Structures are given as C-alpha cells and as structure tokens.
C-alpha cells in the first residue's frame, strides 16, 4: 500500500455564497490527515485544471444553488475530455434533494451528502474508496 496522502480539492462552482458545510467538511478532511486544497469559488474549467495540476484523488463540490446537475455534468465531461475521470473521485455536498442522489451517482458521482451528514462518514468513505 502506498504512503501517499489522499489529496482532496474542495471547491464551489459558481457564486453561491453558502460555505459553512464546505468549511466544516474541509477541516474534517484535513484533521483526518489528508491533504486539502481549498479551491474556493471556481468555474468548472478552473476546478478540473486545479484537480489535474494538484494531482488530487478527490474533487469535493459544494453546491447549494440548485444547479447540481449542470455543474456536475460539466466537471465530469471535462475530466473525461482530459482523460482523468477514472482517476478522480467526485463527491457532492450541499442542499441537494435526496430524489436527485441516484441520478447524480448514475452520472458518475461517487457519493452525495446533504445537511446533517456526519463528517466522520465522509472521511471514512474517502479513505475506503480512494484508488491508491
């Protein structure tokens, strides 16, 4: 098994100003010993470019604007275009209707988290599912 730390890019596509959940999850990821790259507000092209440049294992998207399908599809399409979709796990968090979770997972998202999710569950999912 590799000693390489898991690298996670946490970003917020668009200009939605709700950051509390993303910050809480980011701290939990960092405190669990993973390397956190905090991308802040970025467009989807910037997110994918940062993910490739930083050689991340995970992209965490915090979305509260209701545009979760559009942003997610753009990120997936760009990752596929760059040939790295199979190398980077995508996680979504935010105020996303539970009825949308199955479609997002079908699109290629590894997991979706809503309000009230325990950070330890997110950390454990990452540690268990990241390709080493």
Render pLDDT for 40-63 as a digit per residue (tens, 0 to 9): 788 999 999 999 999 999 999 998
Domains and CATH numbers, the chain: 7-129 (3.40.50.280)
Apex 26 CA angle, 25 and 32, nearest 5: 90
What is the chain's mean pLDDT, rounded? Answer: 92
pTM: 0.93
DSSP the chain: ---PPPEEEEEEESS----HHHHHHHHHHHHTT-EEEEEEEE-HHHHHHHHHHTT-SEEEEE--SS-HHHHHHHHHHHHHHTT-GGGSEEEEESS--GGGHHHHHHHT-SEEE-TT--HHHHHHHHHHH---
Render pLDDT for 72-128 as a digit per residue (tens, 0 to 9): 999 999 999 999 999 999 999 998 999 999 999 999 999 999 989 999 999 999 999
């Amino acid at each position: 098994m590799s000693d390489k730390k898991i690298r996670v890019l946490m970003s917020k596509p668009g200009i939605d100003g709700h950051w509390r959940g993303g910050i809480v999850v980011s701290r939990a990821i960092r405190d669990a010993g993973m390397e956190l790259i905090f991308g802040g507000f970025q467009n989807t092209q910037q997110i994918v470019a940062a993910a490739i440049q930083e050689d991340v294992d995970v992209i965490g998207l915090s979305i509260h604007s209701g545009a979760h399908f559009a942003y997610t599809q753009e990120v997936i399409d760009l990752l596929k275009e760059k040939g790295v979709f199979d190398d980077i796990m995508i996680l979504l968090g935010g105020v996303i209707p539970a009825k949308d979770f199955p479609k997002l997972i079908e699109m290629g998202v590894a997991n979706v988290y809503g309000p009230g999710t325990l950070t330890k569950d997110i950390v454990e999912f990452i540690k268990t599912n990241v390709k080493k």
